[in-house]
Structure 1
């Protein structure tokens, strides 16, 4: 009997109100032939693995489709705190913390009561110690500089992805920031912070004046989470305390990190292989279920996975 796929083992460990529930799975193998390695012709037999995850259906889809809509601040804050609690759970619920490695609005799903749940654990892993020279996989704009440049994996990877997501949730309420995604949301937040005038930025129908303090606090937290250096980012436990007003928010420093990152990447002798945007395969869903076709950033030569609604389909080849 084949061993359980690592993703199944990891998902089976997770049980939290802010984590998408795994209901079942199917793991099958098929005999295939693949080209011989380092040969111009000929094939060798191999086993191709097919993995299907069945997860709870999330009525309101993913957060990425709703950020620029009419969600009021109370709902957005509810979502922010729920995401935070989910990531804290991943980082602290067992001796070996789990790092998600692909936190972004498209991977935050919402149930009928707008409760946020973290999904898509295809890149997630148990963390022994901080890793270096790891293969770089994820979504550009949500990956921290040290991961892109040196392949360093730590819990601070998730802190960075959470910070970008938090800033997107905030700037989606503003006409000036609406549509700003990824790195643009960080630049937008810094412009607001440096220029002031927050009370003129947000639709008064989505938040009242008393809530501007909460928005400002969350914006500061988002900027702190997206600091260049991982040592300057807070833990997710501290983030939760800051959001709840139980911990003082430390100051953060403005970085023009993109140019520095590129320069460092060129000079790094053991930089990871190039990464490319690979569109995920869209599989026709049953009975008109909604579909999504996000972009995944994968190591060159890796295979794309398919998506059905908020279920996941993946395949890999084993020789």
Structure 2
């Protein structure tokens, strides 16, 4: 039996039933180029009037809320309070991409809403939050075993491979980072935040550099050159985060920051030093040969020269053998 919550709006009853039916029919049909426009009152009811206790995350432009539409359907609502041109462009870009893209490792957009100057995006719920929160939050990565970390890396590579190789025109994510990798209840990883994504090859030289310090490829930062290899660089940084449990840029003093890539590079290629820089949470829990292989992949991905970086497809095929079969890889664990 479907539980339907009705809220009163000046005597007019608003039922959640039609919107739930729309969600379900879209998901079952797997329709592309379709996304629900959701009434503001429904979002208000589902988030308990955007109550602070329902905040599950914070983005650069607003909060993310847990929304309960009924006892079966939980969703995440991103509220964008920024009314500037950049925020509007990113919102439209996100809706545009996520209505076209459907993949198991890319977040599903269930709907959106524009209410006065505030915009809302409604996504599937990802119970384990972001990879950033798992690695650098209160648990400091203790929920993530070596095999789970490798599974997350493979999931992210699969999502990127879909964008780079299987979309009609290749898509560059442009803001891949641990806070934009979301994890469901089984730690399946999905790429999120497509506000900055572009079709490969459409980047003009005059476009403002966008992205996050520590993840931005050097050729993009210095020359404005953006290709799929820019995403591969960011993937290499995420792989190092999974390996070492460190942030891409760490503050050493009020005026000094240290880049993880610069610090790690000499040690990644030295087999005697490599085990010492691994996150203590997973240290000594993996086959050393597997550790050397992951470090070698990371080193290739973060090469300063983009032509030396591998395609994401090659990265994916290097990592699949390190993930157990029950987690979506090809490794048989005895």
* 1:23 paired residue number: 110
| TM-score of the two chains, using structure 2 as the length reference | 0.60
2:141 aligns with 69
Cα shift at 1:129: 5.1
Retained in 2: the 8 A contact 1:164–1:222? yes
Number of residue-to-residue matches in the alignment:
220
Residue 267 of structure 2 is aligned to residue 191 of structure 1: yes
Show structure 2 runs of 5+ residues with no match: 1-90, 251-258, 323-334
Question: In the alignment, what sits opposite 2:122?
Answer: 54
Which protein is richer in helix relative to its size?
A: 2
TM-score calculated relative to the size of structure 1: 0.62
The aligned counterpart of 1:140 is: 213
Cα RMSD over matched residues? 2.7
Contact 1:171 1:188 in 2 (8 A): no
Residue 313 of structure 2 corresponds to which residue in structure 1? 237
Highest RCO, 1 vs 2 (Cα 8 Å, sep ≥ 6): 1
Work out the CA distance in 2 between the residues paired with 1:5 and 1:179. Answer: 30
* Residue of structure 1 equivalent to 2:282: 206
| 2-structure distance, mates of 1:210, 1:65 | 23
1:1-319 maps to which residues of 2 (within 5 A)?
A: 5-27=92-114, 50-67=118-135, 68-70=140-142, 71-128=144-201, 131-172=204-245, 178=246, 181=249, 183-194=259-270, 196-199=272-275, 202=278, 206=282, 208=284, 211-245=287-321
How far residue 128 of structure 1 moved from its aligned partner, in angstroms, is 3.8
Shift of 1:187: 2.2
Distance in 1, matches of 2:161 and 2:277, equals 31
Contact 1:189 1:219 in 2 (8 A): no
